[in-house]
Every structure is written in structure tokens, then in C-alpha cells.
Structure 1
Amino acid sequence: MQVLFKVVRQKTPESALQIQTYELDVEPGNTILDCLNRIKWEQDGSLAFRKNCRNTICGSCAMRINGRSALACKENVGDELARLQAIASSTISNPSTQDSPPGEPATPVMTIAPMGNMPVIKDLVVDMKSFWDNLQAVDPFVATGARQIPEREFLQTPEERDRLDQMGNCILCGACYSECNAREVNSDFVGPHALAKANRMVIDSRDSQTEARLARYGQGTQGVWGCTRCYYCNAVCPMDVAPMDQIGKIKEQILDRQDDQANRSVRHRKVLIELVKQGGWIDERQFGVKVVGNSFRDFKGLMSLAPLGLRMIATRKFPLTFERSEGTEEVRSLIESVQQLESEVQNSKPIIEQPSP
């Protein structure tokens, strides 16, 4: 079948973007990388893109395929067109086809672009320096200071090792980083790839810096509290690492160790849970005062709420009363049951003994 490939190209970092169209006769089972290879070999040798293993192992060929980051060696033409058709069926126009003369079927269109959140070097090749720098920032290596005998092998049980498998599947392709909304608006945020690797260190029984890591990963918005929880990293990850889930696990560890005076991010989560337990939903009159104003301890924070409060009063949107939701007691019971279960699980974790001489 004939397919049009619209490739977003940029000859140099300073040059303007342009879209170049190539037409190929392809099979549904051809991967996007197969098609790009044919374009380069048969039509335009100047097209630049990364590739290596062709087998979903190295992560080199990550790019934006029809609007979302993916591996070109993993996605094939047939599945992509089916995905686009499913999206188009719920819209007025069909973005996956190009108009054809009357009586002829529309030609399917595939749009290929470089990954986001990283500057373009050329065409589909991006500069991944910030990606690697942010990975380095979380210190993604096991700290072995706890070893009593440095030269001896540090053993793990099969269960301890199995806990690392999901994060260990990360091939550092950059897809999650490319689609990260938090990274797009906050250049300090290290990114979902780095925090997924960070959780691997947190739960590794061999690591001796767990507490220091958690303190560092919870500082400001460069760590876990910078995540906006959009779940896009989970959606695009080709290896099912689920970076958003790993970020959530780090948050749980931090919340277990810190009280509401640690920082505003921790206070936000704890206050939210307490207010839901009290009323089934959030009492907005208390939320800002407790979180931003730290229950009248933070005068500067309280003053920062004044403009918003005045606007709400002026527009008659300030809630003068609060009515608990139906089923509040049931909600409270569920939350307390989960909290108790988490506490029991935490207390039942085995103590990891260091190797003896």
C-alpha cells in the first residue's frame, strides 16, 4: 500500500523547521525504522536519524511518531494506521489521510518528528545532554559504603533482586523525557527517567544511602514533587517501566519519613488526605490556610493568599460554609484501612543483614 511520510526536518539547530514528504509502497508489517531506512537509501540520503539494534533493546531510534514518542523499530505501519484511524473516528476530520481525487481512496499519512524537550541537532537527531545530565544528578549507582568487606560479593535474595526488574528494564530511550509536561515548564525537574532509576536505588537492598537519597529526591520541584502526574510517561514507555508509578513510590517513602513541617509539598499531600477524611472532599476554606499558610505559622504564605481570596469574595465564589459529602464515614474508613495496611507492610519488611566476615 502507498503511504505518505511527512518528516519534520531541520538542517541545523539554527535553521527553520520544514516538513518534507516522501511516498513509499509498504507492507503493514514494516516498522517505521524500515521505512525511514528505505527513504534514506532510496530517496534522500541526507535524512538524519539515530538507529542501532533494530530490536527494541538500545533505545537509539526514539522519535515522535504521529504525535507521541516511541521507538521506530517497535512500531509498525499497520498498527500505527489502526491507532490513527481509531483517533480519527472520534474527530470531524481524519488526520491520518491526505485528500485524493474523487473516486480514489485517501492516502494514509504518517508524521515523523524529533523528540521534545531536547534541542534538535539535525532532522530527527536531538541533543540528549540534559537527559544524561539529569540522570547523573540522581546518582544512579549503588552506594557500597555499607559493605563490611569491600572485596566480597554483596549477595541479594531472589526476592530482593526481583524488586529491581521493572526499573532495570529501562533502556534510556528518552521517550518519557520527551513527553514530560513538567520538564517542559520547569527546567529544574530531572525528569521521569531519572526518578525511575532513583527508585531503583531507593529499594536496592545493597545501597547504603537510602535516607540521604530520599531527602535529596524530595527537595524543591527538581525531584518527585515537580512531577505533574500527567501519566504520559507511563503511556509512551516502550518497556513498561511506568516511571510515574516509580515516582509515586518514592513519594510514599518520603511521606512515611517526614511530617507536614518538612516542606509545602509534603504538607499539601498530608493536609489533602486529612481533609478528605474529615469531609469526604476538600474544604477549600481550610486547604489554602493549612498548606500555604501552614496553619497560620507562615505569615508570608498567608499574605500571598490575600489577592486570590479577595477575587473569590468579589466574584461570590468564596465558600462561606462547607457540607460534608455523602459517605464520608466510609471514605474515612477506607483511607484508615489503607494506612494501617501500609504500616503493617512497612513494619513486616525483613531487616537486611550485611555479609559477615
Structure 2
Amino acid sequence: MEVIFKIIRQPENSSPVVQTYVVAAESSNTILDCLNRIKWEQDGTLAFRKNCRNTICGSCAMRINGRSALACKENVGSELARLQNIPSPEGKVNTIPEITVAPLGNMPVIKDLVVDMSSFWNNLEAIAPYVSTAARQIPEREFLQTPQERSRLDQTGNCIMCGACYSECNAREVDPSFVGPHALAKAYRMVADSRDSDTENRLESYNEGTKGVWGCTRCLYCDSVCPMDVAPLEQITKIKQEILAHKQANDSRSIRHRKVLIDLVKEGGWIDERQFGLQVVGNYFKDLKGLIALAPLGLRMLCRGKFPLSFESSQGTSQMRSLIESVEKEKGLGIRD
């Protein structure tokens, strides 16, 4: 069958343009197979990365029909089947199927489908993705782990650093200081590693501002596009749980936000927003600047009749409290994110 490939091409520091190619493809052909045929048979100037062709190296990550994926993993048949459930903007059915290919997001384009991944690697380095040097100085024996200890590293160890999660990250798009889901997934691998002796310092670093775990918007895009099921958001949540277990509510606003939210839901079934603002932003009336910052919002709410003078607990509050306490007890944690 014939398939139209619309490829977003872009020389460095230039505006992108769409170039169209028609490829005779089989359903089983991968997107990378088709790109190779375009380069070999139609246009040798097309630039893209590739290497193993077996979903191992992560080199061929790109955006395929609007989502980041590996070109060697996605095939024409499955991609066209997925597109059938997405109506075209014009509401028309194309007689010849189309596949759009674009470079990864959140990274500058070098040429065509090749992006500059410097920020990706620099942010990975920022979380110190290696077992601490203190642990490596033990000379007596090799670093032994039980099967249970090693199993905690399996999921994050599957990461091939393809950049798909980084490309789709909403937080990274609006906050350049956020290190990204790939780095934080690797960060949890360090926290979970029984051979590492720097856990406390790591948690302090990952807890800092919005560049660490608190910068995540929990949009789930990273989990949805990861080709290796690393589930970066799940790993970020695990780091948050470790931080919350080590910290008090007055240590930072991010920590208060999580702890106060759970406490208020346990108390009333839903959030008493009056108390939420005072306890989180105002730090239980201890943060004068925070309280002053709340004043304009409070006045606007009063003027518009949107400031509740009382709070009524929701129905089923006791059941909700029991459920939360059961989860906390089961997980051995004082709180869950």
C-alpha cells in the first residue's frame, strides 16, 4: 500500500517546513524502515538518528503523529489503526493514509529529526546518577545484594535514555529548571539502591524547589509514551514518599501542601480551603510574608461572595479517614502523595 509521510524538516535556527514523501509500505514495516527507504531512495539529505533497530539504544526517538515514540518500535499497520480513531481536522477520510513525523520536543533542532540533547544529559548528570563514592571505597568484598534488593532496581534499570518522556514533559516546557522525568526516574534508582550511602543528601537535592520532584505536574504523559514501561511518574511519586517520610510539615511549602491536604481530607472528607491556604502558604500563621500574599486573594473572594464562613464535612468522612489510614498502615508510611 502507499503511505504519505509528512516529515517536519528544519535546518538549525530556521523555521520548520513540511515535506511530503510517498512510500510503498507493508503493514509490518516500522516507521524507521520507511524513513530509511526515503533517505536511500528519494532524499539523501533527510537527517535522523538510528542505531540498533531493536528497541535497545533509544537513538531513533521522534514524534510520530503527535506523540514521542521509537521509530524502530512503531510499525505502519499499528500506527494507521491508531489514527483511524482520530478524526481529521477537516472531517475527511484520506484515500491515501498519512503519517506525520517530527523531531522530539523540549530540545532545539539541529537538523530535521535530529535534536540537541545537551539539556537532557546535563539534567541527568545533575541528579548524580551513580552509586556514591563513599560506597565504592569499601575494599573488603564485592557489593552484594539480596534478590529482593536487586528487584527494586529492575523497572528503572530498563530506561534506555531515549528522551521520549523528556520530549512530552509539560513541566519541562514551562520550567527550564525542572530536571525532567528521565532524571528523576534514575534518581529513584539511586535512592532504592542498597549499595548507595548518600540517600539523605540525595533527598535534600531532589526536594529543592521545583527543579526536583515538586516541579512535576503529574500529567502522566511520561508514563504513556515510555517504550520500556519505566513509569517515570511512579518513580517520582516514590521519591516524594521518601521525602515526606523524612520531613516535617514546616520544612517547605511543597511538603506542607501534601501533608495538609491529606490531614484536611481525613478531618472533613474534602478540603477546607480556608485552612488549606493558612496552613500551607501561611505555615500555620508562622509565615508573615505568606499570610500577606494571601490577603489580596482573600479580599477578592470576600467581595465576590466566594469566601465560605463555615465548613461542613462531607458525607462518608469517617469512611474516607479509615481508607486513608488503612493505606498508610499498609504502606508503612505517614502519608501518600
Which of the five TM-score ranges fits, normalised by the shorter chain? over 0.9
Deviation at 1:14, TM superposition (A): 1.3
Query: 1:66 maps to what in 2?
Result: 65
Q: For 2:104 and 2:232, how far apart are their aligned partners in 1?
A: 18
Deviation at 1:30, TM superposition (A): 0.6
Query: 1:41 maps to what in 2?
Result: 40
Contact 1:62/1:115 (8 A) holds in 2: yes
Q: For 2:188 and 2:138, how far apart are their aligned partners in 1?
A: 26
Contact 1:4/1:109 (8 A) holds in 2: yes
Contact 1:144/1:206 (8 A) holds in 2: no
* Structure 1 residue 208 corresponds to structure 2 residue 219: no
Query: 2:53 maps to what in 1?
Result: 54
Query: 1:180 maps to what in 2?
Result: 169
Query: 1:352 maps to what in 2?
Result: none
What amino acid is the match of 1:321? S
Query: 2:263 maps to what in 1?
Result: 274
Query: 2:7 maps to what in 1?
Result: 7
Of 76-85 and 304-313, more deviation after overlay is shown by 304-313
Query: 1:103 maps to what in 2?
Result: none
* Matched position secondary structure for 1:14: coil
Query: 2:327 maps to what in 1?
Result: 338
Query: 2:123 maps to what in 1?
Result: 134
Query: 1:234 maps to what in 2?
Result: 223
Q: For 2:56 and 2:111, how far apart are their aligned partners in 1?
A: 23
Q: For 1:92 and 1:183, how far apart are their aligned partners in 2?
A: 28
Query: 1:157 maps to what in 2?
Result: 146
* Structure 1 residue 253 corresponds to structure 2 residue 230: no
Deviation at 1:146, TM superposition (A): 3.8
Q: For 1:107 and 1:318, how far apart are their aligned partners in 2?
A: 57
What amino acid is the match of 1:209? D
Query: 1:81 maps to what in 2?
Result: 80
2:181 to 187, 192, 206: 192
5 and 147 in structure 1: CA distance in 2 versus 1, 3 angstrom threshold: closer
Query: 1:354 maps to what in 2?
Result: none
What amino acid is the match of 2:145? Q
Of 79-88 and 176-185, more deviation after overlay is shown by 79-88
Contact 2:328/2:334 (8 A) holds in 1: no
Deviation at 1:322, TM superposition (A): 1.6
Query: 2:25 maps to what in 1?
Result: 26
* Structure 1 residue 223 corresponds to structure 2 residue 212: yes
Query: 1:303 maps to what in 2?
Result: 292
278 and 169 in structure 1: CA distance in 2 versus 1, 3 angstrom threshold: same
TM-score, length-scaled by structure 2:
0.96
Unaligned stretches of 5+ residues in structure 1 = 99-105, 347-357
Contact 2:124/2:183 (8 A) holds in 1: yes
156 and 345 in structure 1: CA distance in 2 versus 1, 3 angstrom threshold: farther
TM-score, length-scaled by structure 1:
0.91
2:278 to 275, 286, 289: 289
Deviation at 1:87, TM superposition (A): 2.6
Q: For 1:217 and 1:275, how far apart are their aligned partners in 2?
A: 26
1:244 to 217, 233, 254: 233
What amino acid is the match of 2:329? Q
Deviation at 1:144, TM superposition (A): 4.3
* Matched position secondary structure for 1:23: strand
Deviation at 1:248, TM superposition (A): 0.2
Give the superposed CA RMSD: 1.7
Deviation at 1:93, TM superposition (A): 4.5
Q: For 2:331 and 2:137, how far apart are their aligned partners in 1?
A: 32
345 and 293 in structure 1: CA distance in 2 versus 1, 3 angstrom threshold: closer
Unaligned stretches of 5+ residues in structure 2 = none
Deviation at 1:339, TM superposition (A): 1.4
Identity rate, percent: 70
Contact 2:245/2:333 (8 A) holds in 1: no
* Matched position secondary structure for 1:86: coil
What amino acid is the match of 1:159? Q
Cα deviations across residues 166-205 of structure 1 (Å, max 9, x unaligned)? 0000000000000000000000000000000000000101
Q: For 2:102 and 2:140, how far apart are their aligned partners in 1?
A: 48
Q: For 2:276 and 2:170, how far apart are their aligned partners in 1?
A: 25
